[in-house]
Amino acid sequence: MKVLVTGGAGFIASHVVDALLDADYQVVVVDDLSTGRAANVNPRATFVQMDIRDSRLAEVFAAERPDFVNHHAAQMDVRRSIVDPVFDASVNVLGSINVLECARAAGVKRIVYISTGGAAYGEPEYLPCDESHPVNPICQYGASKHTVEHYLFMYQANYGLNYTVLRYANVYGPRQDPHGEAGVVAIFIGQMLRGDPVVINGDGEQVRDFVYVGDCARANLLALTAGRNGIFNLGSGRGTSVNEIYRGLKDLTAYRNEARHGPPKLGETRAIYLDAAKAGRELGWTPAVSLDAGLAATVDYFRTHESTRPVGVP
């Protein structure tokens, strides 16, 4: 069986590619390397460098005839989505429609689509958020990612194209880029290991749900054969503040300086964490890596792979 993974050179999807290959799937990676790294692509996978908006994507599908699609490729920078919402929608909505059209024409059995639980729900009406929580995003990224969920429903109803949606919480772990727009864990580790100042946006009491990348990769594998036409949160079910993350990483890295506080980010939800009980019931998935263990493993990775890489070098 063959899986085409969009964005497979990226942080999370490259771990998914590894898991698929280890489970004896054939894998084709499509990535334009705008944010992903060629070094992340497993050499056992077939690699095609291409933007998901490219009309030639249909030729890739026709040549490879994948049984499944794992759709990770996205514009994922919340701040860029606010500054340039047209670009955000171009990649996340129009690019995804191109993927859906190619999948429909190629007779793909199922699409695993990566959505967002952290940005789609907006300011929560209750916590933890389950999949029935109202979707009221307060940033363009959350809106564009959620929009594709409606297209998936329509393509299934009209064309029989099955899907599974995974709504991620805040994913962290090895291979996350510590430079520029990235998760707070990667940014803090990179700054701490270089001895740079650490800047916390706002007061640091923002609460997030942190889930380890290896756990997410395992969920993607399960989603190929379970949870058909369902939507599933992936998270730990508990909230952790940015200040707590800072203190934990400070201890792990032996960072000696105190953090600075900057202005809060526009479009940022104050507190959110996810109820992933449905994924447990229908996918057989629960997070296996504790936050303490995951942070320690991530710091170990960054010490050997990232700390000496200059800023701006891919």
Q: Helix/strand/coil (H, E, C) string of 227-242?
A: CCCEEEEECCCCCEEH
Cα–Cα distance measured from residue 223 to residue 64, given in angstroms and rounded to the nearest whole number: 21
* CATH 3.90.25.10, the chain: domain bounds: 174-208+238-305
Q: Where are the beta strands (DSSP E) in 40-188?
A: 46-49, 68-71, 110-116, 162-168, 170-172
Q: How far is CA 129 from CA 61, 118, 119, 268, in A?
A: 36, 10, 12, 16
Q: Which two tokens stand for residue 224?
A: 């190929």
Report pLDDT for 265: 81
State the distance between the two ends of the chain, measured CA to CA, in whole angstroms.
Answer: 32
> What CATH number labels 2-171+210-234?
3.40.50.720
Report pLDDT for 178: 79
Do residues 137 and 122 touch, judged by C-beta distance below 8 A? Answer: yes
Bridge partners of 70, per DSSP, are: 5, 112
Q: What is the pLDDT of residues 59-77, one digit of tens each?
A: 999 999 999 999 999 999 8
The residue annotated as part of the active site, out of 25, 141, 246, 255, is 141
- CATH class, range 174-208+238-305: alpha beta
Cα–Cα distance measured from residue 183 to residue 128, given in angstroms and rounded to the nearest whole number: 21
Residue found under tokens 């009406």: 125
**Whole-structure pTM value:** 0.94
Cα–Cα distance measured from residue 31 to residue 313, given in angstroms and rounded to the nearest whole number: 18
Helix (H, G, I), strand (E, B) or coil at 103: helix
Read off the pLDDT of each residue in 24-38 and give the average, rounded to a whole number.
Answer: 97
141 catalytically annotated: yes
Percent of the chain residues topping a pLDDT of 70? 96
Report pLDDT for 217: 98
Report pLDDT for 146: 97
Do residues 259 and 204 touch, judged by C-beta distance below 8 A? Answer: yes
Report pLDDT for 314: 38
127: phi then psi, degrees, rounded to nearest 5: -130, 145
User: Which has the closest alpha carbon to 34: 6, 70, 66?
Assistant: 6
Q: What is the pLDDT of residues 89-132, one digit of tens each?
A: 999 999 999 999 999 999 999 999 999 998 999 999 999 999 99
* CATH 3.40.50.720, the chain: domain bounds: 2-171+210-234
